[in-house]
Amino acid sequence: MAEADVNRPFRVLSLDGGGMRGIYTAAFLDRVCEQQAKRAGVDRLDLGLGFDLIVGTSTGAIVGCAAAVGCPMSKVVALYRNHGPKIFPHRIKGTISALYRAGRGRSFVRRGDAALRAALEHVLESTTLAQVYEKRGISMSIPTVLLSDHRSWVFKKTPVSGARDEDYSLVDICMATSAAPIYRSLAAVDVPGQNAGVKQVFADGGLWANNPVMVALTDALTIADHEQPIEIYSLGTCPRPEGEHITGDGIHRSLLGWRLGADVVPLAISAQEFAYDNMARLIAIELGKSGREVTTIRFPRKAVPASMMTYLALDDTRAEAMDRLTAQAHTDADLTMSARDDPRDPSGSRIKALLESLPALDPSRTLVSCEATTTTDEGGEQHV
């Protein structure tokens, strides 16, 4: 990687996990890039090359890895639409559904495992972390959990990370970070350079870093030049309008009351999102007092409508749910572009500078086929 330009911010993209809600993330980024490309007078922009570091957990890692290799976000939206129902072949809708899943769950997660790997190979091909770093100049950090030790593990390749993870394929890394207990299989990943059959088993990074902004902040501080300002752009997956009013015997909730554990995951995601966002913001403020300029910008920037609640399950692959998530992403992206044009909005000014720094997509600089995919949204409008 070239020597840091201390006059240019060190830019980080941080992407949350959230299962099928990753279509929101991809559609949001696709819409923003599409609008900026029109302003710049080019066909498409290379989103990944706008960032020095990309961090993503679970479904966020899938989107982030696609950006890192130069894949258009429209192709990622199509991945969710075309492969989502195969990745999550059974939706846990209630207690009866959870009980049914308890009896047949192994067959569902096996099928989902194979479907996800096939979808990832289509988009990411055989690219490794080292190739992203060496050929695209992008550092990456992907949180997961190593089952043999029950400890956090971050797949990473940065200027200071060493060679431990560089030969892992992005496909294997995405399988590892998205291996959500209950919803998906654990991930058994080949160890690069070891004899055939030597594997490590991983679980979803969302167990400890579903919102990976603190991972992003930590790695940015170790990579960026001390004089270089840091900007972290953190994107959620259309967070649920959460909260419960519990009275009487409702407090005595047991296994079935938690839908055999399926309701614990969204609760953990919401709690992490709120906690880590505020931790990162407060740490950034304190760093600023000591002369280290760090800015965190979180999207979406407004509350999610309560009407979206029906469509935010992690395993909801209904066409209606994907349409609503895509439509909400477009609405939020349009608001972001409005902020971009408001000179009174400090975050908007940074967004403008970021977007104007994105180069046109050049197929010779990508690591995979960058052929765009056409998708159709709720209103029947096609996007490339």
CB 22, CB 237: distance < 8 Å: yes
Which two three-digit tokens encode residue 333? Answer: 């992206």
How wide is the angle at C-alpha 68 spanned by C-alphas 195 and 42, nearest 5°?
Answer: 150
Instruction: Give mean pLDDT, residues 9-22.
Output: 96
**DSSP 8-state class, residue 176:** H
Q: What is the pLDDT of residues 201-222, one digit of tens each?
A: 999 999 999 999 999 999 999 9
**For 4-8, 334-338, 345-349, 370-374, which range has the lowest pLDDT when averaged over its residues?**
370-374
Q: What is the pLDDT of residues 221-259, one digit of tens each?
A: 999 999 999 999 999 988 766 666 677 777 777 776 776
Q: What is the pLDDT of residues 120-142, one digit of tens each?
A: 999 999 999 999 999 999 999 99
Q: How many CA atoms lie within 13 A of 281 on its CB side?
A: 9
SS3 state of residue 101: helix
User: According to the model, what pLDDT value does residue 376 have?
Assistant: 44
Check whether domain 10-244+261-357 has CATH 3.90.1150.10, yes or no: no
Residue 17, Cα to own-chain centre: how many angstroms? 5
Beta strands, E only, the chain: 10-15, 53-56, 139-146, 151-157, 187-190, 199-204, 230-235, 294-299, 375-376, 382-383
Cα 66 to Cα 62, 69, 125, 163, 278, distances in angstroms: 6, 5, 10, 22, 28
User: According to the model, what pLDDT value does residue 99 have?
Assistant: 60
Cα 223 to Cα 129, 279, 283, distances in angstroms: 17, 20, 17
Q: State how far the Cα of 260 lies from the Cα of 246, in Å rounded to an integer.
A: 19
User: According to the model, what pLDDT value does residue 94 have?
Assistant: 62
Percentage above 90 pLDDT, the chain: 68
Domain positions in the chain are 10-244+261-357
Q: Which of 151, 161, 100 is nearest to 130 (CA)?
A: 161
Beta strands, E only, 136-247: 139-146, 151-157, 187-190, 199-204, 230-235
pLDDT at 108 over 90: no
Q: What is the pLDDT of residues 190-200, one digit of tens each?
A: 999 877 777 99
- When mean pLDDT is compared over 88-92, 148-152, 183-187, 274-278, the highest value belongs to 148-152
pLDDT at 6 over 80: no
Pairing of strands 10-15, 230-235: parallel
Which two three-digit tokens encode residue 270? Answer: 């919401």
Count the neighbouring beta carbons within 10 Å of the beta carbon of residue 251: 8
Which two three-digit tokens encode residue 138? Answer: 């992008």
Task: Kindly tell me the burial class for residue 117, based on how many C-beta atoms sit within 10 Å of its own C-beta (0-12, 13-18, 19 or more).
Answer: middle
pLDDT at 84 over 80: yes
User: According to the model, what pLDDT value does residue 384 have?
Assistant: 39
Contacts of 20 (CB under 8 A, 6+ apart): 59, 80, 84, 88, 313, 314, 315, 316, 317, 321, 322, 325
**DSSP 8-state class, residue 376:** E
Which residues are marked as active site? 58, 204
Q: What is the pLDDT of residues 21-72, one digit of tens each?
A: 999 999 999 999 999 999 999 999 999 999 999 999 999 999 999 999 999 9
User: According to the model, what pLDDT value does residue 381 have?
Assistant: 46
Contacts of 204 (CB under 8 A, 6+ apart): 17, 57, 58, 144, 145, 177, 178, 179, 180, 181, 184
Find tokens 């991930």 and name the residue.
187
Count the neighbouring beta carbons within 10 Å of the beta carbon of residue 353: 14
Query: What does pTM read for this prediction?
Result: 0.90
Selected residue with higher pLDDT from 321 and 379: 321
**For 160-174, 273-287, 305-319, 337-351, which range has the lowest pLDDT when averaged over its residues?**
305-319
Strand partners, 376: 382
Find tokens 């982030």 and name the residue.
64
* Overall size of the chain counted in residues: 384
Percentage above 70 pLDDT, the chain: 86
